[in-house]
């Protein structure tokens, strides 16, 4: 089958055609990547919650930020959510043109509004 398809000029990879590879990518690989991202995000939130002395992630997300570090984390989470939503709407051309600068610029602006000053990403974490 693969030899006959290859002889006719149809692209074949390990016995699968382009349509099958597309379907595998869309229905298997892409959801697996999304699950891995969600799992790592949950681990990150769990680490922040336990570091702040909260029993659950929900409790951590419901409490208002107390310290400057928690305020910075809340601004980061809100802007990351905004960036993810924008990426979902206009993914390919906008990633390199302005979504990531929007995050970092918006973060610095929000820090300045809250009186936290500018934060250097290279500085070691506090606490």
Q: Which residues contact 28 (CB under 8 A, 6 or more apart)?
A: none
Distances (CA, A) of 12 to 3, 26, 29, 53: 9, 18, 19, 55
Distance from C-alpha of 115 to C-alpha of 108, rounded to nearest angstrom:
10
Q: What pLDDT score does 34 carry?
A: 82
Tokens representing residue 17 in the block:
């055609």
The predicted pLDDT at position 120 comes to: 59
For residues 31 and 76, is the Cβ–Cβ distance under 8 A? Answer: no
Helices H / strands E in the chain, number of each = 7, 2
- CA neighbor of 73 nearest in space, from 87, 61, 85: 61
Q: Which residue ranges in the chain fall short of pLDDT 50?
A: 6
CA distance 72 to 65: 9
Q: For 1-127, list the strands marked E by DSSP.
A: 12-13, 16-17
Residue 105, pLDDT score: 74
Rounded to whole angstroms, how far apart are CA atoms 120 and 15?
51
């Amino acid at each position: 089958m693969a030899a006959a398809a290859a002889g006719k000029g149809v692209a074949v990879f390990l016995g699968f055609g382009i349509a099958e590879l597309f379907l595998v990518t869309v229905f298997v690989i892409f959801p697996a990547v999304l699950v891995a991202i969600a799992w790592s995000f949950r681990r990150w939130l769990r680490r922040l919650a336990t570091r702040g002395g909260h029993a659950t992630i929900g409790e951590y997300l419901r409490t208002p930020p107390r310290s400057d570090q928690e305020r910075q984390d809340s601004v980061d989470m809100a802007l990351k959510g905004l960036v993810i939503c924008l990426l979902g709407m206009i993914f390919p051309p906008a990633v390199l043109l302005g979504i990531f600068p929007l995050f970092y610029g918006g973060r610095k602006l929000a820090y300045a509004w809250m009186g936290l000053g500018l934060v250097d990403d290279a500085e070691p974490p506090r606490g």
